[in-house]
């Protein structure tokens, strides 16, 4: 039976509702539940669970939905439980202070100089402008912010000598303080400017795991380096690192920037005596005296070597060079022999940059890759929920996250998609990213392991599942515990995205299908 309740014009943030959903699912007789806003993403998820009816279909993103599947459930009692949990979520917790307005917070926290804003995109610009007026730098985590609002905010910030990191900026580390999704990295002399959230996390984590460290990590949001915005914050970030006494090596990480942004960035690097590594994903730098990283891990390793005063060779570095006991080719042969059906690689990512890198590496080795946001527009998926041939999906894309928490926080949709892909007769290999650090789910490996275990228990077919752990050995989730949970259910775990993808390609080639 499906039980439902619709509360019109009752907006709550998606993370709060995700936590409440988890609590409702624990109740007796409840098989499945969703407490969330009436967004297209949530309605699509309900449809996939066969829990969507005509009345729910008509709801709007401002309507709160309480939908439960099970037997002998009193929906009025569920409603009371939800209301009780909503009240708990708004109470003051020990060690934290809650203020009714931004102005009142600034008045009390006199030394504050950054506001981190994470609200619905349609309202985020207004709050960001308010923060700038109060003299605060802004980290704008919100997505779905209009492009014209982004441009207006960044131009205004530059006039005031302030930064606007974002919108859709997921990662920053300023003076040792991690903001939003960021890892516990060692302190050091490498500064990063990134128009790429998980790209910055991958690079900074590998640097830290190689015993080098980060001085500053300035995020900009992916649109910043496009033609319309013109790299306003990307270029400002480079200037800040040039002026920063702690920074000796500058690393630039970005999705393909507009050529004008590339030229201006290169000019800035040439004017400083600070060393550098540049990695533009699927983009190119033609200047001979600019040191280029060809993958995220290659970029991180080169930066680490430079920071230690070691020589950088003219090659693409692999993190696996540091793991001499892993016989890459032999393991690929063993995996290929176990795969009983399927001939395609399917990637289910929570990190957009990691998904992009996977697409590029796969496309270079095995041919076309389909995606909701493909490298080649010709291979755009008609339905984001249905894979086709080789497919890479970034489940952190706007289409999946409107009205829902990011998949680094809420694993519900990715677990469901993983099981679906496992049962697809065309799937041979599944690639995943496991992102650790502040802001992320506290047991991502356990969440994925649960889905893998369910899929394997219900299927008599073997599919190769590969994961990259993006994180440091000091992250709160415990890197090695996460690795063990995945390996206990037969997931092959790699220390970088590039090495995970390379292994997937090798297994696919061994299949010969």
Fold of the domain built from segment(s) 99-168: Rossmann fold (3.40.50)
Question: Percent of the chain, pLDDT > 90?
Answer: 71
> What is the average pLDDT score of the chain?
92
- The separation between the first and the last C-alpha atoms of the chain, rounded to the nearest angstrom, is 44
Poorest-pLDDT segment among 67-81, 85-99, 374-388, 474-488: 85-99
Q: How sure is the predictor about 497, in pLDDT bands with cuts at 50, 70 and 90?
A: very high
Show me where the domains of the chain are located: 2-90, 99-168, 173-317, 326-511
CATH placement of domain 2-90: 3.30.70.100
Strand partners, 344: 427
Q: What is the mean pLDDT of residues 482-507?
A: 96
What digits encode the pLDDT tens for the residues 381-416?
999 999 999 999 999 887 787 767 788 988 999 999
Domain 326-511 has CATH 3.40.50.261: yes
What digits encode the pLDDT tens for the residues 312-350?
998 999 987 776 667 788 889 999 999 989 999 999 999
Strand partners, 179: 172
Return the closest-CA partner of residue 256 out of 340, 359, 345.
359
CATH placement of domain 173-317: 3.40.50.261
Domains 2-90 and 99-168 share a fold: no
Q: What is the mean pLDDT of residues 37-54?
A: 88
- Rg of the chain taking only CA atoms, in angstroms: 23
310: CB partners within 8 A, 6+ apart: none
Higher pLDDT pick, 45 / 467: 467
In whole angstroms, what is the distance from residue 400 CA to residue 384 CA?
A: 9
The pTM score is 0.85
Q: How sure is the predictor about 123, in pLDDT bands with cuts at 50, 70 and 90?
A: confident
């Amino acid at each position: 039976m499906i039980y439902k309740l619709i509360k019109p014009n009752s907006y709550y943030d998606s993370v709060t509702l995700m936590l409440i959903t988890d609590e409702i699912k624990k109740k007796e007789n409840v098989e499945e539940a969703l407490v969330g806003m009436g967004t297209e993403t949530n309605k699509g998820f309900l449809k996939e669970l066969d829990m969507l009816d005509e009345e729910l279909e008509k709801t709007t993103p401002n309507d709160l939905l309480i939908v439960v599947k099970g037997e002998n459930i009193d929906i009025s009692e569920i409603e009371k439980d939800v209301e009780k949990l909503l009240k708990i979520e708004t109470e003051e917790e020990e060690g934290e202070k809650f203020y009714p307005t931004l102005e009142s917070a600034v008045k009390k926290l006199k030394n504050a100089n950054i506001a981190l804003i994470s609200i619905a995109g349609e309202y985020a610009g207004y709050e960001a402008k308010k923060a700038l007026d109060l003299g605060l730098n802004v980290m704008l985590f919100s997505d779905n912010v209009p492009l014209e609002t982004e441009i207006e905010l960044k131009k205004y910030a530059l006039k005031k000598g302030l930064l606007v990191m974002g919108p859709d900026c997921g990662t920053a580390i300023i003076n040792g303080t991690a903001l939003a999704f960021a890892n516990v990295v060692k302190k050091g002399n490498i500064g990063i400017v990134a128009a790429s959230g998980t790209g910055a996390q991958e690079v900074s984590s590998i640097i830290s795991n190689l015993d080098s460290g980060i001085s500053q990590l300035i995020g900009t949001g992916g649109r910043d380096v496009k033609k319309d915005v013109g790299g306003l914050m990307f270029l400002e970030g480079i200037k800040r690192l040039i002026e920063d006494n702690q920074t000796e090596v500058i690393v630039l990480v970005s999705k393909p920037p507009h050529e004008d942004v590339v030229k201006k960035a290169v000019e800035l690097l040439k004017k400083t005596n600070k060393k550098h590594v540049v990695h533009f994903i699927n983009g190119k730098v033609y200047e001979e005296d600019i040191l280029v990283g060809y993958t995220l891990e290659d970029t991180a390793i080169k930066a680490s070597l430079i920071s230690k005063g070691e020589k950088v060779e003219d090659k693409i570095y692999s993190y696996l060079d540091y793991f001499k006991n892993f016989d890459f080719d032999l393991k690929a042969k063993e995996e290929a022999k176990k795969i009983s059906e399927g001939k395609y690689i399917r990637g289910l990512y929570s990190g957009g940059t990691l998904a992009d890198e996977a697409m590029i590496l796969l496309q270079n080795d095995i041919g076309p890759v389909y995606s909701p946001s493909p490298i080649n527009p010709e291979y755009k998926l008609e339905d984001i929920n249905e894979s086709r041939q080789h497919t890479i999906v970034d489940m952190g894309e706007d289409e999946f996250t409107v009205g829902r928490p990011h998949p680094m926080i809420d694993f519900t949709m990715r677990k469901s998609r993983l099981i679906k892909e496992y049962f697809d007769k065309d799937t041979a290999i599944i690639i995943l990213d496991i992102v650790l650090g502040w802001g992320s789910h506290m047991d991502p490996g356990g969440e994925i392991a649960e889905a893998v275990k369910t899929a394997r228990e219900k299927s008599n077919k073997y599919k190769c599942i590969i994961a990259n752990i993006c994180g440091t050995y000091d992250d709160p989730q415990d890197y090695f515990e996460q690795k063990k949970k995945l390996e206990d259910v037969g997931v092959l775990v790699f220390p970088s995205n590039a090495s995970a993808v390379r292994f997937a390609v090798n297994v696919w080639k061994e299949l010969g299908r």
